[in-house]
Structure 1
């Protein structure tokens, strides 16, 4: 796996995760306006398990709304639906799921992966072809590492490896810390949809936190070089 060179680092971008969707129509109607409020690189779609025909129809409708706004659409798992739904890729959990999905996703679609409990798992994911690695998401029991541990893992990865890293943020403070640590993308889900101000205000706030972190780190680096 290639190690990372050190060009000027771009501002981290948002990776927006939907709630588990039963009826996606309300979200489809609001997506264009929502995605226009911030720099969203991709949307991770979580579909409630129903019959395959319905899920394909739902994913197709979402894909049009997301892709027309300039973002990529990934399905949470559901690798078998990706091509038929016109999705850009899938997010997998764990090395075994990634290995199983790679033949059907590569080379044309994105294969991202989370559920990486150890550094060894993370390096294995990069070596076998993951397009990004995700750190900090809850496990099956809803448990997460500390904010400091997630930031440390992101910093380690960003300094050494080429594939992008994503930090799962459960708060604006985490979005700031993970962007400062070196995350290429910040995954934001429940903190967007559960914000009492509404998702557009929440999304704009997360982007502001990311940019503040980016400029703080860039300013510090410039001062050190000077």
Structure 2
């Protein structure tokens, strides 16, 4: 029987780049799991100082974790970040970000919850599409799962599913999300690194369940 090669999902962390966020907070979280990317959100009325932003990015980038900032291509360039996350990936802001940063930097398309807009974003040249808001409501859970399951079956552009609770990580991995995002509130406080580690374990369980299901389906489809 043929073996299935399927890379596991990876984590994405969402953190607010406020003065309260310390370098050691970032370090502890990105080293607690297989964290592919860090998305930094900002308060538009009080953008972080460049030295603070660079300091926050350093431990993540040293960990081979890509660091993106929300909606500010200029800030991404100035701070030496890896790209930008377009939090409302309607055509105009997404096109502007792609024009400003591609092909040298990452541009992600976020806030997607509908099939048509997701397909448009995926075809635009974005490096990934993200289903769910940066701070999703609990009632979004079902829709996020449905979008991840649909996308994983049909599309090659990587997708991120946003978890509204740590317990959802296993199911999102089972459905085939390439990346699973943990909103800031899920890793806030002193227990944050432990929550990242817990999410990593659930991710691995979900990946194992996905592999098992795909292997069984393959075995059933092969001739005797």
The normalised TM-score by structure 2 is 0.87
Could you list the runs of 5+ residues in structure 1 that have no partner in the other structure? 1-6
Alpha-carbon shift at residue 223 of structure 1 (Å):
2.3
Equivalences for residues 198-213 of structure 1 within 5 A:
198-213=191-206
Alpha-carbon shift at residue 144 of structure 1 (Å):
6.0
**Structure 1 match to 2:209:** 216
Match among 21, 26, 34 for residue 31 of structure 1: 26
Alpha-carbon shift at residue 187 of structure 1 (Å):
0.4
Match among 87, 91, 111 for residue 85 of structure 2: 91
Q: Secondary structure at the match of 1:14?
A: strand
Note the alpha carbon deviations across 1:194-218, whole angstroms, 9 max, x for none: 5xx7011100110111110110111
Contact 1:137–1:144 at 8 Å: present in 2 too?
A: no
Q: Does 1:109 align with 2:105?
A: yes
Q: Does 1:57 align with 2:54?
A: no
Alpha-carbon shift at residue 50 of structure 1 (Å):
5.4
Alpha-carbon shift at residue 9 of structure 1 (Å):
2.1
Distance 1:172 1:29, change over 3 A: closer
CA distance in 1, matches of 2:146, 2:34: 25
Equivalences for residues 1-226 of structure 1 within 5 A:
8-24=5-21, 26=22, 28-49=23-44, 54-92=48-86, 93-95=88-90, 96-137=92-133, 143=137, 146-189=140-183, 190-193=185-188, 198-226=191-219
Contact 1:32–1:65 at 8 Å: present in 2 too?
A: yes
CA distance in 2, matches of 1:106, 1:160: 25
Contact 1:19–1:193 at 8 Å: present in 2 too?
A: no
Distance 1:55 1:49, change over 3 A: farther
CA distance in 2, matches of 1:22, 1:30: 12
CA distance in 2, matches of 1:163, 1:224: 24
The normalised TM-score by structure 1 is 0.86
Could you list the runs of 5+ residues in structure 2 that have no partner in the other structure? 220-224
CA distance in 2, matches of 1:170, 1:51: 26
Q: How many residues align?
A: 213
Alpha-carbon shift at residue 100 of structure 1 (Å):
1.4
Contact 1:138–1:144 at 8 Å: present in 2 too?
A: no
